[in-house]
Amino acid sequence: MTQTTKLNGDFLFVADPLETFKIQKDSTYVMMLALQARGARVHHCHPKDIEWESGQVVRARVLPITLKPRPANDAPKGTPWYEAGTPAVLALKDFTAVLMRKDPPFNAEYIYSTHLLSQAEREGARVFNRPQALREHPEKLALLEFPTFAPPTLVTRDSTAIKAFHAKHKDVILKPLDGMGGMGIFRVTPDGMNLGSIIETLNQDGAQTVMVQAYQPAIKDGDKRILLIGGEPVPYCLARIPQGTEIRGNLAAGGRGEARPLTDSDWAIARAFAPQLAARGLLLVGLDVIGDKVTEVNVTSPTCFQEITDQMGFNVAERFADALGDALKR
């Protein structure tokens, strides 16, 4: 496909509420723009708008939207960026494609949504990323399938096992499995200061599973987001660099984003993951890489499109539109 290839039809984005979009950096927003520019009619709904009644097909209350030209970076907050049409209840199978772009947490409600989307698939809907693949690749667990590229990692509810892992690796990171944007991440250094309290906070007396990883000193050079689209790596990544005393590079936690070409190591990682994940129905994946280690495999709503495009001149949203068009031909 080329950038001029049309994508006619109706495309439904299942995403967070439109009023929460930060359009100067939102990846879903530029996806919508890219599809609309190729002729697509864009619709939006939230997972709570999807329903399945016995004897009926899966439907959703959707809002058709027409996106306006992207506002300038210095445009006043609240500048309108779309025009809303008339809401309607429509069958998901009648859309050209359904794009699941709901941000984490990856919790029970998210999983229920994927089951509804799986039923819509059985009825004929084309859903990206595929719902079964979303369920089978929780973002902080999926990397363990690729141990060559993962740092030493433990997933457990057992506080004794966490303490033993810390004793072995000395300097560790603890985080909840359902977090996003750097929320709930703690570092425990060799002195073990506050380890017990952090365990209690995260695993709630054994009720919540925790991920523990050996600390990667290369974080000072950035937590790199590498995008895989249609089984191919985007040739640039976004290094999210912690600021001040922070250990988190996440942009949501105040990290500074610096786009860079992929290194030889990055290419090796991307090429190892990309074909396997694409074959499982994951059209879009975001790998989080520190040094030469993958710390997360993001499949729910990977981001960083705008930052890479703005800094490197490589239009990530257009690459995504190309890949989506190719997938729809199959």
Catalytic residues: 140, 175, 225, 240, 248, 288, 296, 298
Report the chain's C-alpha Rg in angstroms.
Answer: 20
Contact of 225 with 286, CB cutoff 8 Å:
yes
- With CA atoms as reference, report the closest residue to 60 among 9, 14, 104, 115: 14
Contact of 166 with 212, CB cutoff 8 Å:
yes
Give the containing element (helix H, strand E) for 309.
helix 305-312
Token representation of residue 110? 């998210």
| 85 burial type by CB count under 10 A (0-12 exposed, 13-18 middle, 19+ buried) | middle
Taking the chain, what is the end-to-end CA distance rounded to the nearest angstrom? 13
Token representation of residue 111? 């999983």
Rounded Cα distance, 151 and 170, in Å: 14
Running DSSP on this structure, what letter comes out for residue 48? G
Contact of 169 with 214, CB cutoff 8 Å:
yes
Cα dihedral 321/322/323/324 (nearest 10): 50
Rounded Cα distance, 208 and 227, in Å: 29
In the 3-class helix/strand/coil scheme, how is 82-138 assigned residue by residue? EEECCCEEEEHHHCCEEEEECCCCCCHHHHHHHHHHHHHHHCCCCEECCHHHHHHCC
